[in-house]
A and B are shown apart, each in its own frame.
Chain A
Amino acid sequence: MILKDCPEGFQGRIKLLKGPSVLKKRFFALGFVPGRKLKVIRQAPLKDPLEVEIMGYLLAIRKEEAQYVVLET
């Protein structure tokens, strides 16, 4: 399941990260590592970006970047 397509309230573990190395490093620094739990809190009123909860904090992430986060089904 790709994060971009996850509905509000979805909870799951990160399976792997795709995308350019620069983006991956940014994801790592923000706590997106394989095995971590992630929860989709909501979509913005205009449907983008998403608000997710990870490692106990809240992050806004655009669907464009969320396409690189693959979650375990």
Chain B
Amino acid sequence: MKEVKIALAGNPNAGKTTIFNALTGAKQKVGNYPGVTVERKEGFFKLGDLRVRVIDLPGTYSLTSYSPEEVIARRVIVEEKPEVVIDIVDASNLERNLYLTMQLFELGVPVILVLNMMDDAKKKGLEIDVKKLSEKLGIPVVPMIGHKRVGLEELFDVLEKVLNREIVPLPREDILFYPPEIRRLIRRLEDYIVSQGVDLSGYPARWLALKALEGDEEVLKFLKERLGEGIEKELEKARKEVQSLLGDEPESVLAEARYLSIQELLKDVLRKTPRKTLTDYIDAIVCHRILGLPIFILVMALLFQAVYAWSTPFMDLIDAFFAWLGENLAGMLGEGMLKSLLVDGIIGGVGGVLVFLPQIVFLFFLISLLEDSGYMPRAAFVVDRLLKPLGLNGKSFVPLLSCFACNIPGIMATRTIENYRQRLLTILAAPFMSCSARLPIYTLLIGAFIPDKKLFGIWNLKGAVLLAIYLVGILAAVVTVLVFRAFTLKGEPTPFLMELPPYRFPTLKSVLIHMWNRAVLYVRKAGTVILAISIVMWALFTFPQNPSLSKDYEALKAKARSPEEVAALENQEAFERLAKSYAGRFGKLIEPLIKPLGFDWRIGIALTSAFAAKEVLVATLGQIYALGEATEDEVSLLESIRKDPVFNPITAIGLMLFSLLMVPCMATLPVIRMETGGWRWPAIIVCWTLFMAWTVTFVWVRFIGPLIF
């Protein structure tokens, strides 16, 4: 079966992904382009006796070297030479969408034009003469309504004809309407480039000339490397001529020329009867000067609540399932190494991966719903002003908010932020949004040490401290973003220019596909790493297996006179084993580091266990106080902590601060790797969070705490 390659191009929001999904079904592959964090999406489908490979190019407004997405798009087109590029255009927004089309024509590639979202165009009162448009362009034009699969058959039909060479979709020469002066200069530059006789790696000389004249950085670098300094002189000459002949710089002239070409093209093709649409009415409410913010807060609150409420029963179910599985396996295998490895290590580990799935699934279900309906950009629009001083923009809000439920889906949600630097800054802020797993730690310590007083007579002190913890987290996030913005991640400040697409009724199918893709991505990419780390953690807490114990527990248990005595002895034994495990030794090792914070080696062990999952800290504390494993019963743990001289209100708050700020749980790290394209940033985050945790806790314990207590 012969394989051919095609590419899909188009503006963001033009429905490219929906059509890509319709063409390829579930047969998609998502990866990364080497060296950049741009997602590479490929899929396959059969057409007649051909196997068609579709590359879904990143959505772009243009083909400049302004963003990695645009550079990738043109590189793929030139270097991988797809048979044809299917340009997906939002028919309700033709003029602007065709700007990219013009640039595809400049590259000289074969193009099939898809007029998508014809229903939106109709709603807006636009009438398009498709046949005339196709005649004027000289290429096939296929009207479609992607999310209803309307026009799909025709697209397949046209594509088959193109791939069988029955149609050659090259646009007519006269489409691109440049002023004669520009055309002359481009030809002159083109001749110069060709005359040098160097290898141009498949890039058309005329395109290089045009881009160079336009001041395209990548192209300039490319040409300088291959042609030397001579090209710069030629370009200078040309630019000066443009300025003197046409009174403006080449990039403006060329941009206007493209739009002029588009206007000519649409002259007797597009008819507008402007009409107010549902979008205008909804926006009038949702972006309203007074109503806008409350509506936004309401939507966010519902999102948060829904994710929490829906996922909790499923998470409990998963926990229960794995506990049941563990028990049965334990029953079958009996005591011993294998049982411990399988039950505590592997099942515990796999359970630890899967327990996050409900939150990921529900969050992305809701996010997809909000995105597909068109509300997301409005949310970003309303809240942007708050995020601007941090160097972030409105798009960071939902991911960061989600982090308060769980960091993992929150960090995964940052993928919607197209700009890499913005995405990275958001990911750096994410771990400081106190997730729900940290709550049991606060509940325990506040319960033990914060008195039941009222602040200023109205506010419950316990509640106030809890709120303060969350605020410290947010403050830490702000500091982090400002620091990283100033010292690393330097670059062009990113402009916030965001399209507000028309509202649409989301299709269940596309929402579910999106949700499914994320879930699968998480399990595949993060799952293996989390499992590996789980097993390592289990090993740390289980080995060495036979330490020398202080008492002969077996003998004592045999002599015990009541089940309570046996239980107490078993708990003491568990504690000793814990203390003598590698984890325990590690706790003793780091003790000098955490002593200035008022912690001892036992707290060191507890903090180490929190790396597996934050809430495990409480369970480990239970083991440390020899209370056995079931420490959901907080009363006894509470009492034990109160009685322990190491703990006092200052160190208790210190421990809360440290747990808040320290390294996020191990499951977050592979997810961060997934979104940042390497282990470098997870490593930086580990170091930075530890640094923040230690410093803030130190300042609290040594300076601020003693002032208050």
Contact A45 B290 (CB under 8 A): yes
Contact A49 B381 (CB under 8 A): yes
Is A28 in contact with chain B by the CB < 8 A criterion? Answer: yes
Instruction: Find chain B residues with CB under 8 A from A29 CB.
Output: 61-62, 64, 96, 99-100, 255
Is A33 in contact with chain B by the CB < 8 A criterion? Answer: yes
Query: 8 other contacts beyond A59-B497, A59-B500, with CB at 8 A cut-off?
Result: A31-B259, A46-B384, A55-B96, A56-B124, A58-B279, A62-B388, A65-B495, A65-B496
- Name B382's contact: one of A33, A44, A64 (CB within 8 Å): A44
Chain A residues at the B interface, C-beta cutoff of 8 Å: 17, 21-31, 33-36, 41-49, 51, 54-62, 64-65
For chain B, give the interface size range. 35 or more
Give the distance in Å from the alpha carbon of A70 to the alpha carbon of B105 in the complex.
30
Contact A21 B215 (CB under 8 A): yes
- Nearest to A19 among chain B residues (CB) is B495
- Name B500's contact: one of A28, A35, A48, A60 (CB within 8 Å): A60
Could you say which of B100, B272, B497 has the most chain A C-beta atoms within 10 Å of its C-beta?
Answer: B497
Given contacts A44-B292, A45-B288, contact A24 B251 (CB under 8 A): yes
Give the distance in Å from the alpha carbon of A45 to the alpha carbon of B501 in the complex.
19
Contact B251 A25 (CB under 8 A): yes
Interface flags for B305-349 (1: CB within 8 Å of A; 0: not) read 000000000000000000000000000000000000000000000
Return A3 CB to nearest CB of chain B, in Å: 12
Give the distance in Å from the alpha carbon of A25 to the alpha carbon of B256 in the complex.
11
Is B287 in contact with chain A by the CB < 8 A criterion? Answer: yes
Instruction: Find chain B residues with CB under 8 A from A21 CB.
Output: 215, 251
Given contacts A33-B255, A34-B256, A44-B385, contact A49 B66 (CB under 8 A): no
Is B95 in contact with chain A by the CB < 8 A criterion? Answer: yes
- Nearest to A36 among chain B residues (CB) is B259
- Nearest to B293 among chain A residues (CB) is A45
**Residues in B361-390 with C-beta less than 8 Å from chain A:** 377, 380-386, 388
Could you say which of B64, B124, B381 has the most chain A C-beta atoms within 10 Å of its C-beta?
Answer: B381
Instruction: Find chain A residues with CB under 8 A from B256 CB.
Output: 33-35
- Name B66's contact: one of A22, A42, A64 (CB within 8 Å): A22
Return B117 CB to nearest CB of chain A, in Å: 11
| Shortest Cβ-Cβ A-B pairs, 7 listed | A29-B62, A28-B255, A46-B385, A45-B292, A29-B61, A58-B500, A31-B96
Is B635 in contact with chain A by the CB < 8 A criterion? Answer: no
Is B49 in contact with chain A by the CB < 8 A criterion? Answer: no
Give the distance in Å from the alpha carbon of A60 to the alpha carbon of B377 in the complex.
9
Give the distance in Å from the alpha carbon of A28 to the alpha carbon of B384 in the complex.
23
Given contacts A55-B95, A55-B96, contact A45 B498 (CB under 8 A): no
**Residues in B265-301 with C-beta less than 8 Å from chain A:** 272, 279, 283, 287-290, 292-293
Instruction: Find chain B residues with CB under 8 A from A48 CB.
Output: 384-385, 388
Contact A49 B292 (CB under 8 A): no
Is B631 in contact with chain A by the CB < 8 A criterion? Answer: no
- Nearest to B214 among chain A residues (CB) is A25
- Nearest to B288 among chain A residues (CB) is A45
Give the distance in Å from the alpha carbon of A42 to the alpha carbon of B64 in the complex.
30
Contact B99 A31 (CB under 8 A): yes
- Nearest to A35 among chain B residues (CB) is B256
Give the distance in Å from the alpha carbon of A27 to the alpha carbon of B500 in the complex.
16
